[in-house]
Amino acid sequence: MSGLSIRATIARTGFELRVDIASDARITVLHGPSGAGKTLTLHAVAGLIPCPDARIVLEGRDLSSLPPQRRNLSMAFQEPRLFPHLSVRRNILYACRETGGLAELADALDITNLLDRRPADLSGGQAQRVSLARALLRDSDLTLLDEPFTGLDASRKDAAITLLSQLRRRILMVSHDPGDAARLNAQVVHVANGIAQ
Protein backbone atom coordinates (compact mmCIF):
# COMPACT_ATOMS: atom_id res chain seq x y z
CA MET A 1 0.00 0.00 0.00
CA SER A 2 1.47 3.36 -1.01
CA GLY A 3 0.86 6.72 0.58
CA LEU A 4 0.13 7.63 4.18
CA SER A 5 -2.52 6.03 6.36
CA ILE A 6 -3.24 7.10 9.94
CA ARG A 7 -5.87 5.58 12.20
CA ALA A 8 -5.74 6.52 15.85
CA THR A 9 -7.62 7.75 18.87
CA ILE A 10 -5.64 10.47 20.60
CA ALA A 11 -6.85 11.10 24.13
CA ARG A 12 -5.97 14.04 26.33
CA THR A 13 -7.65 15.29 29.51
CA GLY A 14 -11.11 16.42 28.48
CA PHE A 15 -10.40 15.88 24.79
CA GLU A 16 -10.45 12.98 22.35
CA LEU A 17 -9.55 13.07 18.66
CA ARG A 18 -10.38 10.28 16.24
CA VAL A 19 -8.05 10.27 13.24
CA ASP A 20 -8.84 8.38 10.04
CA ILE A 21 -6.63 9.61 7.21
CA ALA A 22 -5.69 7.94 3.94
CA SER A 23 -3.70 10.06 1.52
CA ASP A 24 -1.75 9.22 -1.61
CA ALA A 25 -0.96 12.90 -2.24
CA ARG A 26 2.64 14.04 -1.93
CA ILE A 27 1.52 16.86 0.39
CA THR A 28 -1.31 16.48 2.88
CA VAL A 29 -2.57 19.51 4.79
CA LEU A 30 -4.36 19.32 8.13
CA HIS A 31 -6.78 22.24 8.27
CA GLY A 32 -9.15 23.34 11.02
CA PRO A 33 -9.68 25.72 13.92
CA SER A 34 -7.17 26.26 16.72
CA GLY A 35 -7.32 23.56 19.37
CA ALA A 36 -8.91 21.01 17.03
CA GLY A 37 -6.02 18.53 17.30
CA LYS A 38 -3.90 19.21 14.22
CA THR A 39 -0.63 19.44 16.15
CA LEU A 40 -1.60 16.43 18.26
CA THR A 41 -1.94 14.46 15.04
CA LEU A 42 1.59 15.42 13.96
CA HIS A 43 2.95 14.45 17.38
CA ALA A 44 1.18 11.09 17.22
CA VAL A 45 2.66 10.37 13.79
CA ALA A 46 6.10 11.35 15.08
CA GLY A 47 5.71 9.05 18.09
CA LEU A 48 6.09 11.93 20.54
CA ILE A 49 2.91 11.17 22.49
CA PRO A 50 1.53 7.81 23.64
CA CYS A 51 -1.10 6.51 21.27
CA PRO A 52 -1.46 2.76 21.95
CA ASP A 53 -4.13 1.97 19.36
CA ALA A 54 -2.52 3.96 16.53
CA ARG A 55 -1.90 2.39 13.14
CA ILE A 56 0.40 4.55 11.06
CA VAL A 57 1.51 3.18 7.71
CA LEU A 58 3.83 5.05 5.36
CA GLU A 59 4.54 3.59 1.92
CA GLY A 60 3.60 0.13 3.20
CA ARG A 61 5.84 0.43 6.28
CA ASP A 62 4.11 0.21 9.65
CA LEU A 63 5.52 2.88 11.96
CA SER A 64 3.01 2.38 14.74
CA SER A 65 5.18 0.57 17.29
CA LEU A 66 8.52 2.17 16.36
CA PRO A 67 10.20 4.69 18.66
CA PRO A 68 10.53 8.21 17.19
CA GLN A 69 14.20 7.81 16.24
CA ARG A 70 13.40 4.76 14.06
CA ARG A 71 10.54 6.32 12.09
CA ASN A 72 12.87 8.31 9.81
CA LEU A 73 10.81 11.50 10.02
CA SER A 74 11.81 15.13 10.18
CA MET A 75 9.75 17.84 11.83
CA ALA A 76 9.56 21.61 12.09
CA PHE A 77 7.58 22.60 15.17
CA GLN A 78 5.32 25.64 15.33
CA GLU A 79 7.77 27.28 17.74
CA PRO A 80 11.30 26.85 16.34
CA ARG A 81 13.27 24.60 18.65
CA LEU A 82 16.83 25.58 17.85
CA PHE A 83 19.87 24.71 19.94
CA PRO A 84 21.00 28.03 21.44
CA HIS A 85 24.68 27.03 21.68
CA LEU A 86 24.94 26.09 17.99
CA SER A 87 25.23 28.34 14.97
CA VAL A 88 22.44 28.43 12.44
CA ARG A 89 24.55 26.29 10.12
CA ARG A 90 25.12 23.64 12.79
CA ASN A 91 21.45 23.73 13.80
CA ILE A 92 20.43 22.99 10.21
CA LEU A 93 23.01 20.24 9.82
CA TYR A 94 22.15 18.62 13.15
CA ALA A 95 21.22 14.95 12.59
CA CYS A 96 21.86 15.22 8.83
CA ARG A 97 24.10 12.55 7.38
CA GLU A 98 24.83 14.57 4.25
CA THR A 99 25.57 18.29 3.97
CA GLY A 100 24.88 18.58 0.24
CA GLY A 101 22.08 20.91 -0.66
CA LEU A 102 22.57 23.32 2.25
CA ALA A 103 23.67 26.22 0.03
CA GLU A 104 20.69 25.86 -2.32
CA LEU A 105 18.22 25.48 0.55
CA ALA A 106 19.66 28.45 2.43
CA ASP A 107 19.41 30.54 -0.73
CA ALA A 108 15.80 29.48 -1.37
CA LEU A 109 14.79 30.39 2.19
CA ASP A 110 16.89 33.59 2.24
CA ILE A 111 19.00 32.56 5.24
CA THR A 112 22.48 32.42 3.66
CA ASN A 113 23.56 35.54 5.56
CA LEU A 114 22.36 33.98 8.85
CA LEU A 115 24.39 30.76 8.79
CA ASP A 116 27.09 31.96 11.21
CA ARG A 117 24.69 33.58 13.69
CA ARG A 118 23.34 32.09 16.90
CA PRO A 119 19.58 31.59 17.44
CA ALA A 120 19.47 34.42 20.01
CA ASP A 121 20.37 36.84 17.21
CA LEU A 122 17.45 35.80 14.97
CA SER A 123 13.99 37.31 14.58
CA GLY A 124 10.96 35.04 14.88
CA GLY A 125 10.58 34.77 11.11
CA GLN A 126 14.28 34.02 10.65
CA ALA A 127 14.17 31.29 13.30
CA GLN A 128 11.12 29.79 11.57
CA ARG A 129 12.97 29.62 8.26
CA VAL A 130 15.98 28.00 9.95
CA SER A 131 13.72 25.40 11.56
CA LEU A 132 12.11 24.73 8.18
CA ALA A 133 15.53 24.36 6.54
CA ARG A 134 16.61 21.83 9.16
CA ALA A 135 13.50 19.71 8.58
CA LEU A 136 13.84 19.87 4.79
CA LEU A 137 17.57 19.17 4.57
CA ARG A 138 17.27 15.90 6.45
CA ASP A 139 16.71 12.92 4.16
CA SER A 140 13.51 11.58 5.75
CA ASP A 141 10.63 9.44 4.54
CA LEU A 142 8.07 11.96 5.80
CA THR A 143 8.42 15.61 6.79
CA LEU A 144 6.03 16.98 9.41
CA LEU A 145 5.51 20.76 9.33
CA ASP A 146 3.48 22.62 11.95
CA GLU A 147 2.40 26.01 10.57
CA PRO A 148 5.70 26.41 8.67
CA PHE A 149 4.81 29.85 7.27
CA THR A 150 4.14 31.54 10.62
CA GLY A 151 6.06 34.80 10.89
CA LEU A 152 7.02 34.91 7.21
CA ASP A 153 6.25 37.98 5.13
CA ALA A 154 4.39 37.51 1.85
CA SER A 155 7.45 37.23 -0.41
CA ARG A 156 9.22 34.72 1.85
CA LYS A 157 6.04 32.70 2.24
CA ASP A 158 5.76 32.60 -1.56
CA ALA A 159 9.36 31.37 -1.77
CA ALA A 160 8.73 28.68 0.88
CA ILE A 161 5.60 27.47 -0.91
CA THR A 162 7.50 27.29 -4.19
CA LEU A 163 10.26 25.30 -2.47
CA LEU A 164 7.80 22.81 -0.92
CA SER A 165 6.06 22.42 -4.28
CA GLN A 166 9.32 21.43 -5.94
CA LEU A 167 10.54 18.95 -3.33
CA ARG A 168 10.18 15.27 -4.11
CA ARG A 169 9.15 14.05 -0.69
CA ARG A 170 6.02 13.29 1.25
CA ILE A 171 4.88 16.08 3.59
CA LEU A 172 2.20 16.22 6.29
CA MET A 173 1.63 19.78 7.42
CA VAL A 174 -0.67 21.93 9.53
CA SER A 175 -2.04 25.16 8.13
CA HIS A 176 -4.76 27.59 9.16
CA ASP A 177 -4.79 29.15 5.69
CA PRO A 178 -6.99 27.25 3.21
CA GLY A 179 -5.14 28.94 0.36
CA ASP A 180 -1.92 27.12 1.28
CA ALA A 181 -3.34 23.73 0.33
CA ALA A 182 -4.55 25.00 -3.03
CA ARG A 183 -1.19 26.54 -3.86
CA LEU A 184 0.60 23.33 -2.85
CA ASN A 185 -1.84 21.10 -4.77
CA ALA A 186 -2.30 19.23 -1.50
CA GLN A 187 -4.93 16.86 -0.19
CA VAL A 188 -6.85 18.55 2.62
CA VAL A 189 -7.84 16.77 5.82
CA HIS A 190 -10.36 18.65 7.93
CA VAL A 191 -9.81 18.50 11.69
CA ALA A 192 -12.77 19.63 13.79
CA ASN A 193 -15.20 18.45 16.46
CA GLY A 194 -12.94 15.61 17.57
CA ILE A 195 -12.55 14.10 14.10
CA ALA A 196 -9.72 14.28 11.54
CA GLN A 197 -10.66 12.78 8.18
pLDDT tens sequence across 120-139:
999 999 999 999 999 999 98
98 pLDDT band (50/70/90 cuts)? low
CATH number of the domain to which 185 belongs: 3.40.50.300
pLDDT at 181: 92
What contacts 152, CB < 8 A, 6 or more positions away? 125, 128, 129, 160
Q: CB of 75 within 8 A of CB of 42?
A: yes
pTM: 0.94
Which of 24, 6, 2, 20 has its CA nearest to residue 185? 24
pLDDT at 11: 87
Indicate the number of domains in the chain.
1
What contacts 61, CB < 8 A, 6 or more positions away? 141
The boundaries of the domain holding residue 142 are: 4-196
Q: CB of 152 within 8 A of CB of 129?
A: yes
1, pLDDT greater than 60? no
pLDDT tens sequence across 149-167:
988 899 999 999 999 999 8
Which of 167, 174, 191 has its CA nearest to residue 26? 167
